[in-house]
Amino acid sequence: MPTMPQAIRSYFERERPIELRHCDPMRYVDGKPRPPEQSVWIRATAPLPDDPAIHQCVLAYASDMTLLDAALVAHGSTVFSGEIQAASLDHALWFHRPFRADEWLLYTQDSPFAGGARGFTRGRIYTEAGELVASVAQEGLIRRRRKD
């Protein structure tokens, strides 16, 4: 997206093992507050072996990549702002059925609560056919960086 700031565009375009495609990339451009939810398409960038444990490990890794950002969208902010300190405090993941992490998965995320320098976020991960394959919950530290 040409209007996206270079630092943010570089993050999303750089080579990595997980490909991310935000459904609303404008949230990184306009800084407007939105409902505390977002959706991201994810997949491994290369074919994976058929071992289900490998697909679960890849999804566990990917499930932590964008989730805390869902708590910031209501404030018109992102982890890219430079003003935010964010860190995962706990992260839980439940697998519901087999899936392939090297095929596109829709990761829907929301944040029912953010306050006291913490954000609580939830995620649901679906196949392209709409089958729920995993659920995620996370609490994270989210606070403004000190100026000193």
Q: Is residue 1 part of a domain?
A: no
Query: What's the domain range around 40?
Result: 6-144
- Choose the catalytic residue: 77, 110, 138, 148: 138
94 vs 85 pLDDT, higher one: 94
Told to judge if 88 belongs to the known catalytic residues of this protein, a careful annotator would answer yes
Cα–Cα distance between 60 and 69 in angstroms, integer?
A: 17
Q: Is residue 120 part of a domain?
A: yes
Tell me if residue 75 falls in helix, strand or coil: helix
Tokens of 17: 């093992």
How do residues 52-80 score in pLDDT, each as one tens digit? 999 999 999 999 988 988 888 877 777 76
- Choose the catalytic residue: 56, 64, 81, 102: 64
Cα–Cα distance between 2 and 9 in angstroms, integer?
A: 8
Tokens of 71: 């708590």
Domain tally, the chain: 1
Told to judge if 39 belongs to the known catalytic residues of this protein, a careful annotator would answer no
The structure's pTM equals: 0.89
Cα–Cα distance between 45 and 16 in angstroms, integer?
A: 7
**CATH classification of the domain holding 11:** 3.10.129.10
